[in-house]
Structure 1
Amino acid sequence: MNSLYDEFRVALHSVWTRRWLVLAVAWGICILGWLAIASIPNRYDSRARLLVDVNQILPDDTPGGLGAQQQVDQIRATLTSARNMEKVAVTTGLLPAAAGEREKAGAVAMLQQNIKVVPQQDNIFEITSSIGVGSLSDADNAKLASGVLDSLITVFRDDQLRGGRIDAREGLKFLDAQIADREKALREVEARRAAFEASNIGLVGGGAGSPAQRVDAMRAEINQIDSQLVAAQAALAAANGQLAQTPATINVPGAPATGAGVARQQLAGAQNELAQMRAKGLTDAHPDVIAVKSQIAALKAQAERDGNGGGGGNAQNPAYASLAAMRAERQATVSALGARKAQLTGDIARITSQQIQNPGVAAEYDRINGEYTALKAQYDKLLAQREQVRLRGQVQTETDAIKVELLDPPSKPTTPSAPNRPLFLTAVLLAGIAGGIGAAFGLAQIRTSYPTAARLERASGLPVIGSITEVVTPERQVERKKRLVWLASGAGALVALYALLLVAEFVQRGLVA
């Protein structure tokens, strides 16, 4: 412990013996440091809060439009755009009227670096400008900080009023050009398709759709016809069964006999119907043919009985006539469905045969139709987008699509935000004192000496008999006091200069206020 104390005393003595070096180094460091701090311009911050409200009249999912959140994000990105910064620099006088491109780029970069936009909520922004131009006074920098925000908000409002309408006009112009190009391309494809159909008559069918699409449509129609045909044939069979069980004439007592004429007429009609069925290719095993044959046999028997005479008069059965008409109608329906199915089957066979015989023609026709379909879809989509852009342009023209409201106006700064000169001045003073002490201590370590007898004894390895202290004469004592006064005056002057700089800093701040 005593050894550590002795080392401390030795170090303190070595510094004290070089006290003038400590004072000189401290003065040098403080003067240089304070000059460097004085060359740093004061920066003044101004803050404002802005509300950007998007009037969302049209829905977010409208084609060709942006949602409310996307518009707010876009506003946040373009608020400090280079175009706006250049307008602000010109308005506030940072850029002269005849500034070059390099000066413009420098002013824009400086403003973009010193203007911060911080979103507090979805549509509320806090804007901060920090201005410190070395060529301007503190009062001018403080005034410029709030002026930059005023100019930025004004430019932003003007851009929002004009920008939406300009964007709508430019969007309509672009969409009109795209629609004209698609329309021209559609006409060219239509002309090529018509020419291809004309040059390949019999190989491809006219009309919309490729051969494969037409075949698919025909097959779907055949499936529907099959279900309808089954129902129609069932209804016809039911009508035939009812007609076979219903007599063609009824015996009316007291009525004059009609003879066999009616039965023979019905027999002739049934035989004619049988002939038509066979002409259509129906065999004897067909249910309709069997029913008609049964009816013919019954009519023949009835005609023979009527020819032989009877006890009463015969009259035509109304129920039989109604069933006959119903059966004829259902038979016509079955015949029409069968004919349509046969026609579709023949068309499918013809198209399939053409595709097999001429595969290149069908492939080319499919390619032309696919190109036409794609162009038509793009054309329809562009038409819908143009209508939506037109509606949005009307909304922005007739209403305030984006409302900009200043919640807190730009503040007027009275104290600099940076640098913290009192703290820096104090830090430089302490650094100067520490630097002087460190220089004196380091010089003492470089120059080898033995301040105590014990250190000399350890270094030489020889016993030290004794030591002689310094003898100070009265004249020497007076000289020392005089030098101490000078030292104290130098140190006091350094502290006084530090205090003067602090007072000047606070006085300068008061002048800005």
Structure 2
Amino acid sequence: MEELVSQVIGYLRGMWRFRWWGLALAWLVGVAGGVAIYLMPDKYESTARINVDTQSVLRPLMSGLAVQPNVSQQINMLSRTLISRPNVEKLITMADLDLGVRSPAEREALINALMSDLQIRSTGRDNLFTLAYADTRPERAQRVVQSLLSLFVESGLGSNRQDADAARRFIEEQIRSYEQKLTEAENRLKDFRLRNMALLGAGTRDYITQIADVNEQLRQARLELREAENSRDAMKQQLASGQSEADFAPPPMLATPEIDARIETLQRNLDDLLQRYTERHPDVVGARRVIEELEKQKQDLLAQMRENPVASPMGGFGMGSGIEQTRLALAQGEARVASLRARVTEFESRLETLQADAQRIPQLETEMAQLNRDYSVHKSNYDALVSRRESASIAAEMNTQAGIADFRVIDPPSMPTKPSAPNRLLLLPLAALVGLGAGFALTFLISQLRPSFGDPRQLREISGLPVLGTVSMLPTPERRRKRRNGLIAFGGGLAAYAGAFAFATAALKILQG
């Protein structure tokens, strides 16, 4: 600490030797600064205060029906982005600032100056903003603030309308896109249903029932086919055995051709009905009842023919000619076998078709679910977009009719009568301090360029040589008087410096009134 104090004292002693240089520079810098401050042009600041009221009675009433934008956030963002180049160019035209512009360079300089000088200050609450601009001409400052105020209001209202219009245009484009997607999904679903109409009409359980019914019909047809084949084979053996004509009994198959044809027709109709209806359907029940009655009538007729062959309906064919009857019955038996084989083939084909269709049902259901899911997604998005479009339209109409944000001018742009800048009362003392600082810096610089040593220890430390002794200067009356006069003159110079700036500041204050 002692070394530090000694070093500081050494610096001050070195600077004291060149104090007159520092005082001269202080006077020079101070006077030059004072003159520059005095010659600075006056600037007049015009201000205006505006309040943006974002509270509206319609906002709680229209909650849930219209889009509720964050108006406060929009206004704050507008206040930060209003001073942009396009807005400043528009403001120059509105305030007639371009009348004195003669070149693009001057216009560019004017734009840059306005962008740096225009101010929009917010109080941080209640959406209260202050617009300010300072200019050398008070009427021009007022005109610029008035134009900025108009631009602020127009930008606030216009941005809401532009945002609403842009939102509606975007939603309209999305609605048209989803209309196309929805139409394509509907067409795919329609084409799928048309292609698979026969399979989509019944579920998996219905196909199982149909397969069981066709299996039963196929079993019954195969049984009838075996019976018909056995009867035919028996008649063939009877003809091949060579029996006498009297040994031939009237074959029962020849006795009821009309009834058999009706039974076969009803059986085909019953097969068709079972493909469409269940066993309990009235048409199916009625067809089975008629078939049972015909079967009973056939059995009664056959019994009657066995008891009285001559009186039977087939008597006209000549029951005495048994061989001919047997041959005729054999031909009819062949025809019945062929008919039953065709029925068996038909039932087998139906069974294969039903089994193949039943295997395709899960795949069709999966495809149907995918198509329905795509359609549901597009439909829900389309409905949501339509709802949002209506909400945006209501919000736009609400903004137009009632105005969500109300711009209220609290203080109109003022006409300044006193300059707001420069603050000469503050700048003059600062110029004095700057002059003193410049003088202090000059003395320190010269002391470092032309150093001196105030004690033997400092000389020994810097030179590295031993100091054998020192010679002191004797204070004579002449030296004491000269030193005292020098101190008085230096103090007088400093006092005159401070007094001159104090007098200039007081005079300036009196002039400004």
1:378 to 377, 381, 390: 381
- Does 1:26 find its partner at 2:26? yes
Q: What is the root-mean-square deviation of aligned Cα atoms in Å?
A: 5.3
- Does 1:66 find its partner at 2:72? no
Runs (5+) with no aligned partner, structure 2: 207-278, 282-352
Q: Kindly provide the CA deviation profile for residues 480-503 of structure 1, in whole angstroms up to 9, marking residues without a partner as x.
A: 97x999978866775576357636
* Equivalent residue, structure 1, for 2:186: 190
CA contact (8 A) 2:182 2:378 kept: yes
Q: 1:53 to 1:454 in 2, by over 3 A?
A: closer
CA contact (8 A) 1:45 1:145 kept: yes
- Partners of 2:76 and 2:447 in 1: CA distance: 62
- Partners of 2:378 and 2:358 in 1: CA distance: 25
- Partners of 1:46 and 1:195 in 2: CA distance: 72
Q: 1:77 to 1:359 in 2, by over 3 A?
A: same
- Partners of 1:393 and 1:448 in 2: CA distance: 81
- Partners of 1:467 and 1:377 in 2: CA distance: 107
Larger radius of gyration: 2
Question: CA shift at 1:377, angstroms?
Answer: 1.4
Higher helix share: 2
Q: 1:485 to 1:378 in 2, by over 3 A?
A: same
* Equivalent residue, structure 2, for 1:180: 176
- Does 1:153 find its partner at 2:156? no
Q: Kindly provide the CA deviation profile for residues 151-175 of structure 1, in whole angstroms up to 9, marking residues without a partner as x.
A: 2332233345555556555554544
* Equivalent residue, structure 2, for 1:110: 116
Q: What pairs up with 1:26-175 in 2 under 5 angstroms? A: 26-30=26-30, 44=45, 46=47, 48-57=49-58, 59=61, 61-62=63-64, 65-67=67-69, 70-79=70-79, 80-81=81-82, 82=84, 84-93=87-96, 106=112, 109-110=115-116, 114-121=119-126, 124-129=127-132, 131=134, 137=136, 140=137, 146-160=142-156, 164=160, 168=164, 171-175=167-171
The one-letter amino acid of 1:71's match is V
- Identity among equivalent pairs (%): 24
- Partners of 1:41 and 1:352 in 2: CA distance: 103
Q: What pairs up with 1:233-382 in 2 under 5 angstroms? A: 356-357=359-360, 359-382=362-385
The one-letter amino acid of 2:51's match is L
Q: 1:184 to 1:64 in 2, by over 3 A?
A: farther
Question: CA shift at 1:465, angstroms?
Answer: 7.3
Q: Kindly provide the CA deviation profile for residues 458-507 of structure 1, in whole angstroms up to 9, marking residues without a partner as x.
A: 9975456764446749xx98xx97x9999788667755763576368647
Q: Kindly provide the CA deviation profile for residues 337-386 of structure 1, in whole angstroms up to 9, marking residues without a partner as x.
A: xxxxxxxxxxxxx9999675355443333222222112211222222223
* Equivalent residue, structure 2, for 1:404: 407
> What secondary structure is seen at the aligned counterpart in 1 of 2:22?
helix
CA contact (8 A) 2:185 2:375 kept: yes
CA contact (8 A) 1:355 1:362 kept: no
Question: CA shift at 1:108, angstroms?
Answer: 6.9
- Partners of 1:117 and 1:354 in 2: CA distance: 76
Q: Kindly provide the CA deviation profile for residues 213-241 of structure 1, in whole angstroms up to 9, marking residues without a partner as x.
A: x99xxxxxxxxxxxxxxxxxxxxxxxxxx
Question: CA shift at 1:437, angstroms?
Answer: 4.2
> What secondary structure is seen at the aligned counterpart in 1 of 2:26?
helix
CA contact (8 A) 2:456 2:467 kept: no
- Partners of 1:386 and 1:145 in 2: CA distance: 45
- Does 1:423 find its partner at 2:426? yes
* Equivalent residue, structure 2, for 1:202: 198
- Partners of 2:9 and 2:376 in 1: CA distance: 100
Question: CA shift at 1:78, angstroms?
Answer: 1.9
Q: 1:170 to 1:9 in 2, by over 3 A?
A: closer
Question: CA shift at 1:128, angstroms?
Answer: 4.3
TM, length-normalised to structure 2: 0.52
Q: 1:469 to 1:170 in 2, by over 3 A?
A: closer
Question: CA shift at 1:65, angstroms?
Answer: 0.9
Q: 1:388 to 1:496 in 2, by over 3 A?
A: same
- Partners of 2:163 and 2:6 in 1: CA distance: 84
> What secondary structure is seen at the aligned counterpart in 2 of 1:365?
helix
The one-letter amino acid of 2:58's match is I
- Partners of 1:379 and 1:73 in 2: CA distance: 30
CA contact (8 A) 2:21 2:442 kept: yes
The one-letter amino acid of 2:186's match is E
TM, length-normalised to structure 1: 0.52
- Does 1:395 find its partner at 2:398? yes
